[in-house]
Structure 1
Amino acid sequence: MTSNEQIAQMKKPPVVSAEEWQKAWQEMLVKEKEHTRARDALAAARRRMPWLAVEKEYIFEGPQGKVSLLDLFEGRRQLVLYRAFYDSNVHGWPDHACVGCSLGADQVSHLSHLHARDTTLAYASRGSQENIATLKPLMGWEKIPWYTITDSFDKDFGVDEWHGHNVFFRDENNKLFRTYYINNRGDEAMGTVWNYLDATPLGRQEDWEDSPEGYPKTPRYKWWRWHDAYGKKDAKWESVVDSATVTLNL
């Protein structure tokens, strides 16, 4: 905890009137909106990145045995696969995974929202399924699919020495493509539904997004549900959205 002495030595900002504070906040809000627009533009550029075909077969170990990279999609169109360091040479083994990777896992939001956008999130490590099965309930990560790397996947996709999110797409012929890659400080922002979707080729799939021609889109907000209510019609919520859309500012 920060001590009173440390706080006392801080060079603090000026204390101003309510009117001055409001003016300063309005000025900062302009910058924040610029940041939001820039983030949206970055996501739009990601959706136009070229794709890399995955030609090699990769095998993982899952709770039920051997599975392929295609299996990790769980039938969905997109896969965000995070390489987490839970290996025998990592600090904390076998009771804990890497401290940084664990912090990231603690940030992961409810996966039902990603699934509603045809997107799967999964983790992969070198640790055995036996150890992973012990780790997940201990740390509260039961809902994260977590696989064991058995071949050169981590080296081939730049995550053998450091963590990272690889994004994959499954086309109409079940052919797989690598579409994006986030690592280093980019990983610290991951965990929310929006940052995961913004890293995918299809994005959030809402009607306001700048996406290439033919990409799937639905009306903004209307697809949202409580995490236990996806797949159910909610006419009341959709009417709330219809009445509020004119006042909402993207």
Structure 2
Amino acid sequence: MEYPSRPPVVERGAWEGARSELLAREKAHTRAGDQLAAARRRLPMTRMGPVTVTGANGPTPLREVFEDRHMLLVYHFMWKRGASHDKQCPGCTHTQVALNEAVRAYLAERDVSYAVFSAGPWPEIAAYREFMGWTGPWYSTQDTGTALPATRDGGDLRCYLRDGDDVFQTYETTARGVEAMLPTLQLLDLTAYGRQEAWEDSPAGWPQGEAGAWWWRDGRPVAQWLRPPSTR
């Protein structure tokens, strides 16, 4: 790819001065994030009513999704009912790429389980999970009725706490709030051209396109091109 513009070139001393100024702002940003996390830990919680989801072992009470741990992270995957694999949500697919077995193991060391919920039918969800080669627990919320809080169309991240058989919701976020699950974006933010999306405040001439459009390649989510050709 050819880039029509590039950052200005300066001597090393000038670069180090500019980097030091930015570093002070980055440290302030980190401290502000720490303060938000502290406030998040002080949120009250709300009790969940009886909730049953459907997984590999059939109907499963929400408390069992914790897998004997006390905390649970749940991502709500947007589902296109009856659609082929290549038509499923590229953004939700992107969120799951980094949630591999090793990440789940580290979460477990802090007494946290991770699961994916989706409003799609269990057979479709199970087929997509297998197609992508993902090993984490997935569940369908299709038959939960009104017991589960609304998930909009998907893209929500929720946190729960279990006390015996009682389950409480402690936090939720959506939209850009789920970027913690997308390390690709944080890494791109460190590069000269960033995410290259139209909403970003970038210098004139920087390449920019529609937000999230690059999550697709040739008609399917990028991660699907990593699957063996015979499965596509």
Q: Give me the whole-angstrom Cα distance separating, in 2, the residues matched to 1:66 and 1:87.
A: 22
Contact 1:87 1:125 in 2 (8 A): no
- The answer on 1:100 being equivalent to 2:88 is no
- Are 1:47 and 2:38 an aligned pair? no
The answer for the alignment partner of 1:237 in structure 2 is none
Structure 2 counterpart of 1:163, which letter?
A: G
Q: Does 1:164 align with 2:156?
A: yes
**Where does the alignment leave 5 or more consecutive residues of structure 1 unmatched?**
193-250
The one of 65, 68, 73 aligned to 2:58: 65
Given that residues 125 and 148 in structure 1 are in contact (C-alpha distance below 8 angstroms), is that contact kept between their aligned partners in structure 2? yes
Q: 2:22 aligned with 1:28, yes or no?
A: yes
Quote how far apart the aligned CAs of 1:95 are.
5.1
- Percent identity over the alignment is 33
* CA distance in structure 1 between the partners assigned to 2:98 and 2:158 by the alignment: 18
Deviations 1:104-141 (A, max 9, x none): 11132421000000001100112333223322232131
Instruction: Write the letter of the residue equivalent to 1:53.
Output: R
Q: Which residue of 2 aligns with 1:202?
A: none
Pairs within 5 Å for 1:1-250: 2=1, 4=2, 7-8=3-4, 10=5, 12-54=6-48, 56-88=49-81, 92-94=83-85, 97-109=88-100, 110-142=103-135, 144-149=136-141, 150-152=143-145, 156-171=148-163, 173-190=164-181
Structure number with higher relative contact order (C-alpha < 8 Å, ≥ 6 residues apart) = 2
Q: Distance in 2 between matches of 1:187 and 1:81?
A: 11
CA distance in 1: counterparts of 2:13 and 2:86, whole angstroms: 53
Rounded to whole Å, the distance in 2 between the matches of 1:22 and 1:51 is 46
Contact 1:88–1:94 (Cα < 8 Å) also in 2 = no
CA separation in 2, counterparts of 1:126 and 1:190? 20
